Amino acid sequence: MTANVARGALPPRHALLALAIVAVWGTNFVVIKLALGHLPPLLFATLRFTFAAIPGVFILRRPAVPLIQLALYGILIGVGQFGLLFIAIAGGIAPGLASLVVQSQVFFTIGLAVWLSGERVRLGQLVALALGAGGIGVIAAHTGGATSITGIALVLGAALAWGCGNMVQRRSVGVDMLAYVVWASLFAVPPLFVLSLVREGWPAMVGGVRDAGWVTWAAIGWQAVGNTMFGYGAWGFLLTRYPAVAVAPWSLLVPVFGMSAAAAWLGEPLPGWKLAAEALILGGLGLSLLGPTLARRWASGQEA
């Protein structure tokens, strides 16, 4: 591990890879909104993970991890993260705001680490949690129109599932992450299909597929290939090769791309309260991720 990586910096080529990932993830929220204009949310998620898994499972060898791990990751990301996220964006929250709120997955990851491995919460992390909670509170205080309390709650549930999925994926060091994501996607399809059938109904599912135009199918393809196979495969590649402090801060750029794309392509407004909420949440995330490193540097400087 190089000194720069130990200090929280990726090598240039992998920094460019991280930037490409967050650009895809951020602008993807606009793609989601466009597709949801023609497809029920759970059917959209079903199709996304179907095409992420097939034909890949017939080409890529199954990674050398237990099937239960693949199934857990697939259900957490497929059903938990994107099932809830798609339902929220379909009618409970604007896509730009969703790209911001879902970054609270970092806070859930901290809580899970404390619960599962007994890590201690530092004062800086508590301050970070308070800042993030303040940002969510600002959003909650401005519900109405395209944003509702239910929509916020669904995106927070998606963030929790994402945090859990990250912790599962980090246990798979040394495996082919593209194969990992492809095979895990296979386990997301059956529960998503059943939930779509129960919640949305067969007529709506058939009608959605029948009425989908080339833009909708292009969005599904982008979801499967760009967002899932490239995005989550490359993110897993970075997570299993570098310290979290070198990788995780890049996700702070997702809402920057997300809110900018939503404003440019969907005309989503950017009033002062949204910018204030973004500053609070990203400030909390930045403090939680970078605070320990900055504290060590400050302590080293004091000792010197």
Tokens of 202: 């067969």
Consecutive 10-residue averages of pLDDT for the chain (304 residues): 51 89 91 92 97 94 94 96 95 84 78 68 71 77 72 93 88 87 96 97 95 92 92 88 73 81 84 83 72 66 58
Tokens of 37: 């204009």
Buried b (16+ CB within 10 A) or exposed e, 131-147: bbebbbebbeeeeeebb
Distance CA 222, CA 40 (A): 17
**CB contact set of 245 (below 8 Å; sequence gap of 6+):** 8, 289, 290, 292, 293
**Is 167 buried (19+), middle (13-18) or exposed (0-12) by CB count in 10 A?**
middle
pLDDT attached to residue 73: 96
Distance CA 104, CA 198 (A): 29
**Other C-beta atoms lying within 10 Å of the C-beta of residue 68:** 10
**Other C-beta atoms lying within 10 Å of the C-beta of residue 166:** 24
| Domain-wise residue ranges, the chain | 3-297
pLDDT attached to residue 6: 44
Distance CA 172, CA 165 (A): 12
**CB contact set of 275 (below 8 Å; sequence gap of 6+):** none
Distance CA 223, CA 51 (A): 9
pTM of the predicted model as reported, rounded to 2 decimal places: 0.82
Please name which of 105, 95, 93 lies closest in space to residue 139, comparing C-alpha atoms.
93
Distance CA 67, CA 58 (A): 16
pLDDT attached to residue 109: 72
pLDDT attached to residue 289: 62
Distance CA 85, CA 156 (A): 9
Distance CA 219, CA 129 (A): 35
Q: Decide if 293 contacts 4 (C-beta within 8 A).
A: no
Tokens of 95: 């896509």
pLDDT attached to residue 147: 73
